[in-house]
Amino acid sequence: MGNMALDRTETTSVEAILKGALARESRALRGVAPVISHMLDSPGQALVTDAIVARLRGMLNDLAQQLLNACQASPPSEPSDPATIDALAEEIARDTALLDHLYALAIEGHFAARLEHRASIDPVLSPLLQELIASDKPSIAELAMGTLAAQSRFMQSQRRMDLPLSELPSELFARVLAQFEAVDLDLGLDTGEIGVALTMLRANYDEGAGRLGLLARLTSSMRGGAVAALELEHAGLALFASSMAALTRQKRDFAVLACHENQGARLALSLRAGGMSATAIERQFMLINPAQMLPEDLAALPIERAQALLNGIDP
């Protein structure tokens, strides 16, 4: 009985610490979209750096350019008027859900490059992806090869600070097109041209063929083996984030943001909810943020309680 009481006390203590930290981290994330929407390069906002804002601007402008290009009968010989692109990008940026997603992509691209520099973790071809490409199951090998190509394109796009419309999740793709259709700007286009462009874009869209769809399908194909993808050094960031999201039933964007240096409680809870031991979690922290200290007695926190805290479920 004495040991059980001690275990419960330890569990309650670590729960309280992580719950409080997670609440603070969630408040910080909720403050990101308003900052981005006004494009503030504020040194006091640790979650939004100049480099991240630059990537966001680039992706928004690229989405706007693609929408305008789609309305032209033939490929344009030169980019649209910069003022027109900026005005359309500003309209698109009114969607906070889109901003949140683009922010997560910018963080992922930035962090993948940093991991390559700091820990020699390849942002495209990880050891786990190599193993999946060499699978004796043709369907998994083909899916892994498609994921490799998509991840390579993603890193190239992040370096160029652009983003194909086709890489947006279906809900955001639909919302961006709806915004474009309803935009109150003088774009030099008539409603017929816009209507034809939107029909074409929708007809050519395939969420499952995009990078996020491929990663989700590949993670699902691993079934119980997805836990192995929680070893960042072995899986690489892209599979790590997708597997963590799948195992903990959270949005992938949140799994990516958990890797931010100011989101340590979210990361610890996500990995614990995914079934990792405290020792294994500590290894991931050493790669992601060596200066971050794990809460004591994390091993005493049951997996189901970690999931409940992550979901915001009170006892």
Each residue of 119-138: pLDDT tens digit? 999 999 999 999 999 999 99
What's the pTM value of the predicted model, to 2 decimals? 0.85
Nearest to 86 by CA among 110, 51, 114, 62: 62
Three-state SS string over 178-218 comes to HHHHHCCCCCCCCHHHHHHHHHHHHHHCCHHHCHHHHHHHH
What is the rounded distance in angstroms from the CA atom of residue 127 to the CA atom of residue 234?
Answer: 5
Q: What is the DSSP string of 131-166?
A: HHHT-SSHHHHHHHHHHHHHHHHHHHHHHHT---GG
Which residues have a Cβ under 8 Å from the Cβ of 68 and sit 6 or more positions away?
Answer: 80, 84, 85, 88, 187, 189
pLDDT of residue 33: 62
Q: What is the DSSP string of 220-270?
A: HHHGGGGGGGG-HHHHHHHHHHHHHHHHHT--HHHHHHTTSTT-HHHHHHH
CB count within 10 Å of CB 57 equals 18
46-59: average pLDDT: 81
pLDDT of residue 194: 86
Each residue of 65-90: pLDDT tens digit? 999 999 876 666 566 788 889 999 99
Nearest to 103 by CA among 243, 254, 301: 254
